[in-house]
Amino acid sequence: MNTEDFRPEKEVKIFYPPQRVLMGPGPSDTHPRVLNAMARPTLGHLDPVFTEMMEEIKSLMRYAFQTKNRMTFPVSGPGSVGMEMCFVNMIVPGDKVIVCRNGVFGGRMIENVERHGGIAVVVEDKWGEPVDPQKVEDALKKNPDAKIVAFVHAETSTGASSDAKTLCELARKHDCLTIVDTVTSLGGSPIKVDEWEIDAIYSGSQKCLSCPPGLSPVSFSERVTDLVKNRKEKVHSWFMDISLLLNYWGSSTRTYHHTAPTNALYALHESLLMLAEEGLEHSWARHRRNYEALKAGFATLGMNYVVQEEYRLPQLNSVFVPEGVDEKEVRRRLLDDYNLEIGAGLGDFAGKVWRFGLMGTSSRVENVLFCLNVLESVLSDMGMKVERGAAASAAHQSYAANPMF
């Protein structure tokens, strides 16, 4: 057969993406320093210079997670791969796992438990509410043979934050290991792996770290590595088997495991370095300050939050769509007319809420003001009564009242 028969049906040219302002639930804007890092010369994944950089990534990740865990490294894959790595290594078929669901991503944890042969004991909370520690303790008392407690620290589908410290204390009290999803919280909200004694934790590169998608930072306690080493049956995934990765990420003398995404790791190295340069506490405060300003602007537009104040994530703002407003049309106009991306609702919240991200590089003053101004303009054009300029003015007042330290 002629090779010309397989040519694309239309002419394909060099792809030039538009310049967007990313204020949805992720990915966030990638800093120019991180983009530049990706363009550096590609090295072999066993090159001694590259392996030295891998050690630096591990050190920087330990700072971000606030841990001294030896097994702290980025998985080659998105946050979903980090999630599956935790479950596939820690679950033996028949294990009982307490899984907390208060949004979409708790549901994905349940799916992982079941796919790996575990028994999921589900603790349900309403979407938009945090995980209730009392419900977790009740489930632990009813299931004394449970091995693991799994929960989402920062539920991306709703913007709700749960009390990870308390939930981990409950798990330890009942002799359970913990698996914690911090995809949306790492770098934007306090996470203290060692202090809270978290056993397995995973995140994503594309949220508050402002790195392109495709890597999942993970960290495992010695309790987990011991558990995996002592398994009587092999982990049900070759690629995600921690015992095999110990010889790749866990040792300075590396044994080949897989071809690491070198240039993507350059980007992660740069983003983690930027986080260390800014300082974790400063980053947490910056996300909080920009949230306060955005919240002040939303109040002038009559936009109500899904989550109660004390449980809100500053980096993920879920608000109800004002009555009578075409939520899809607003998102379309923001994207087409202003190159501003915001997120729609998922699952139970589809068509009912918007999700505004203030993550990493996207969490800055100019983005907050730009978002409020163009949102106000679009809503006004669509017939909603708004006081023009009021949203940005309220944000300015918030910034004046909340200076950075």
Interatomic CA distance for residues 114 and 44, integer angstroms: 38
What pTM value is reported for the model?
0.96
Least confident window among 156-160, 333-337, 347-351: 347-351
Quote the distance between the C-alpha of residue 101 and its chain's center.
16
Q: What is the pLDDT of residue 117?
A: 96
- 93 pLDDT more than 90: yes
CATH superfamily of 279-401: Aspartate Aminotransferase, domain 1 (3.90.1150.10)
Q: What is the pLDDT of residue 404?
A: 79
Structure tokens, 261: 């995404």
Report angle CA 36, 40, 46 to the nearest 5 degrees. Answer: 135
Q: Where in the chain do CATH 3.90.1150.10 domains reside?
A: 279-401
At 166, the amino acid letter reads T
Interatomic CA distance for residues 317 and 19, integer angstroms: 23
For residues 230-242, give the mean pLDDT: 93
Evaluate whether 79 touches 128 at the Cβ level (below 8 Å). no
For residues 318-344, give the mean pLDDT: 97
Q: Where does the pLDDT of residue 77 fall: very low under 50, low under 70, confident under 90, or very high at 90 and above?
A: very high
Q: Which helix (H) or strand (E) holds 39?
A: none
For residues 157-169, give the mean pLDDT: 98
Classify residue 153 by its DSSP letter: S
Q: Where does the pLDDT of residue 336 fall: very low under 50, low under 70, confident under 90, or very high at 90 and above?
A: very high
- 251 pLDDT more than 80: no
CB-based contacts of 96: which residues, under 8 Å, 6+ apart? 118, 119, 121, 143, 145, 146, 147
Omega into 17 within 30° of 0, i.e. cis?
no
**CA torsion angle for 58, 62, 63, 65 (degrees, to 10)?**
130
For residues 46-64, give the mean pLDDT: 94
Interatomic CA distance for residues 214 and 204, integer angstroms: 8
Q: What is the pLDDT of residue 75?
A: 94
- 143 pLDDT more than 80: yes
Q: Where does the pLDDT of residue 3 fall: very low under 50, low under 70, confident under 90, or very high at 90 and above?
A: confident
Q: Which helix (H) or strand (E) holds 346?
A: none
- 74 pLDDT more than 70: yes
Q: What is the pLDDT of residue 247?
A: 78
Structure tokens, 209: 């770290």
Mean pLDDT, the chain, whole residue set: 95
Q: What is the pLDDT of residue 405?
A: 66
| CA 271 vs CA 38, 151, 206, 213: distances in Å | 11, 26, 10, 12
More confident position, 6 or 96: 96
Interatomic CA distance for residues 273 and 259, integer angstroms: 23
Beta-bridge partners for 148:
97, 177
Q: Where does the pLDDT of residue 319 fall: very low under 50, low under 70, confident under 90, or very high at 90 and above?
A: very high
| Number of Cβ atoms within 10 Å of the Cβ of 313 | 26
More confident position, 87 or 258: 87
Percent of the chain with pLDDT strictly greater than 90? 91
Interatomic CA distance for residues 179 and 176, integer angstroms: 10
Q: What is the pLDDT of residue 5?
A: 82
SS3 of residue 320 by DSSP: strand
For the domain with range 32-276, which CATH number is right: 3.40.640.10, 3.40.50.410, 3.40.50.1820, 3.90.1300.10? Answer: 3.40.640.10
Evaluate whether 269 touches 56 at the Cβ level (below 8 Å). yes
Helices (H), 230-364: 242-245, 262-278, 280-300, 327-338
Percent of the chain with pLDDT strictly greater than 70? 99
- 371 pLDDT more than 70: yes
Closest CA to 218 of 87, 49, 34, 313: 87
For residues 35-56, give the mean pLDDT: 93
- 253 pLDDT more than 70: no
Q: What is the pLDDT of residue 40?
A: 98
Closest CA to 119 of 162, 87, 141: 87
Classify residue 315 by its DSSP letter: T
Taking only the tens place, the pLDDT of each residue in 272-309 is 999 999 999 999 999 999 999 999 999 999 999 999 99
Q: What is the pLDDT of residue 235?
A: 95
Start-to-end CA distance of the chain, whole Å, equals 69
Q: Where does the pLDDT of residue 258 fall: very low under 50, low under 70, confident under 90, or very high at 90 and above?
A: confident
- 1 pLDDT more than 80: no
Q: What is the pLDDT of residue 8?
A: 87
Classify residue 79 by its DSSP letter: H
Beta-bridge partners for 356:
317
Q: Where in the chain do CATH 3.40.640.10 domains reside?
A: 32-276
